[in-house]
Chains A and B, each alone.
Chain A
Amino acid sequence: MKLSELGPEFKTEVMSHKEAEGLNLCFACGTCTAGCPIHEIFYEYDPRKLAKMVKLGMREEVLASPYIWYCTTCRNCEQRCPQNVKFFDILNVLKNMAAKEGYAPHSWIEQTKQIMKNGIIFSITEELKEKRRALSLPALKYNGERAKKILKLTGIDKVKDQGKA
């Protein structure tokens, strides 16, 4: 990587999203990484490093990285940050940008399709209906009509599956 390939454009692009506004407050202390359970078992996933990569302008390296999707959403990073940087939100912004470029994992795309069909991320099978009846639980009446209408407004239905990008 050459210094000339770096620049502030990517950081500006990320910070144009309200959720990522606080990125400039990060002084790279690494408290987020120290408290991250994913980092503990998978060293390559490193919130501090990701924040620094954004600041340096490493757009492709960040957005194409499979690791950004490994976050388990425990929110320890933001909970413990002495600068009150919401890294969890920043990471969601990065994932949203990566999704637009075709890097979204199959599982999240599939769940969106299910919601637009069923209102929830699973389908309601005959077997499930029978199980619920056997336990005297009320029938589920979820449907995806409203969810589909509202989700289409966000363009999420156009996001491509990583495997098919």
Chain B
Amino acid sequence: MRRYALFLGCTTPTQVLQYELASRWICKQLGIELVDIEDFVCCGINQSNISIEAGLLLASMNLALAERRGLDILTLCAACTGQLAEAVEKLEDPKIRDRVNSKLKTVDLRYKGKVRVKHISRILYEDIGVDRLKEKVKIDLSRLRIAPHYGCHYLKPASAFKGFDDPDNPKTLHHLISATGAYPIDYETINLCCGGKSFPVSEDIARSLVKSKIDNLMLKKIDFLVVQCQTCYLMYRGQQRALNQKFNRNYNIPVLLYPQLLGAAMGGDLRDDLGIHLNGISLDDFTKKLGVDLPYIKR
């Protein structure tokens, strides 16, 4: 049995509950035990904007809290992944670690340097493996064409993700999508950022990034855009509607979070286990796309 500390972050457990729901469900099915740690806080990535040290201290606090329980961290958000993994890398330097620990002392914490941080997709890819995922698939999704979107911080800074995937030409999400039977397409703007970190400062600029990708995807024949970060999800799901109003368009690309796609392939209940209805997708339309009868996937 694999055990990880579940790092929910800020946005998933408050705004994209279906990502948490589906992730918990697939982990349970796959024998990954998720431990909830009540005293986790924000990963600190946005605080780095106004104080790099503040960002590092928040990240270090979380690492220390997981380490105290002897657990590595499973993340859902790409940005938390990047921020925490970068902190792990920085804290390998004993000088930085000592400085950070002198501050963590005020909250009775200490980080020794033992924690590893992995995104849920990486854990599925490395710990479970594509072959075992394939064995778990009960529903044939081979008629689906899917556009993968990785999320910038899933693989950057590259130095914190050595030996995993290539940030300039990533493949792991393609393989994970293939494992469900669905077909992952390649497209020109695949590595374009969702703009989520610009959004709080300039909504127009962030929305323009969404528009570039959606314009590209509207030319492709796809059934879903699949993301692995709730911020990317919110940008592509929410901003398509905003763009439709602003530019009188008809953007309508449905967005799924990867654990929802995998969960559907594994036969999870679309509503109760995976929360597909929360993505603004009708369950009837979803099952039609899958090409299976509704009763088949109901409990």
A: residues with CB less than 8 A from B are 17, 19, 37-38, 40-42, 69-76, 78-80, 88-89, 92-93, 95-96, 99, 104-105, 107-109, 111-112, 115, 119-122, 124, 128, 131-132, 135, 137-138, 140-144, 146-147, 149-151, 153-156, 159
Mark B28-55 against chain A: 1 for CB-CB distance below 8 A, else 0.
0000000010111110011111111110
Nearest Cβ in chain A — how far from B12, in angstroms? Answer: 10
Closest to B103 in A: A153
- With A115-B41, A120-B42, A122-B11 known as contacts, the answer to whether A96 contacts B50 (CB < 8 A) is yes
Find the A residue at minimum CB distance from B207: A41
Stretch at the interface among B112-120, B141-149, B192-200, B279-287: B192-200
Task: Tell whether B128 is near chain A: CB-to-CB under 8 Å.
Answer: no
A75 touches B156 (CB 8 A): yes
B42 contact from A108, A131, A140, A147, Cβ within 8 A: A147
Which residues on A sit within 8 Å (CB–CB) of B40? 119, 142
In the bound complex, do residue B156 and residue A41 qualify as a contact, i.e. CB atoms below 8 Å apart?
no
Q: Is B50 touching A70 in the complex (CB atoms < 8 A)? A: no
Do the beta carbons of B156 and A147 come within 8 Å of each other? no
Q: What residues on A are CB-neighbors of B11 within 8 Å?
A: 121-122
- With an 8 Å Cβ cutoff, the count of chain B residues facing the other chain is 58
Interface residues of B (CB under 8 A from A): 9-11, 13-15, 17, 20-21, 24, 36, 38-42, 45-54, 57-58, 61, 79, 82, 103-104, 106-107, 109, 152-153, 156-158, 167-168, 192-193, 195-198, 200-202, 205-206, 208-209, 212, 275
Q: How far is the CA of A19 from the CA of B55 in the complex (A)?
A: 13
Out of A112, A121, A135, name the residue touching B10 (CB < 8 Å).
A121
Contact, CB under 8 Å: A154 / B201: no
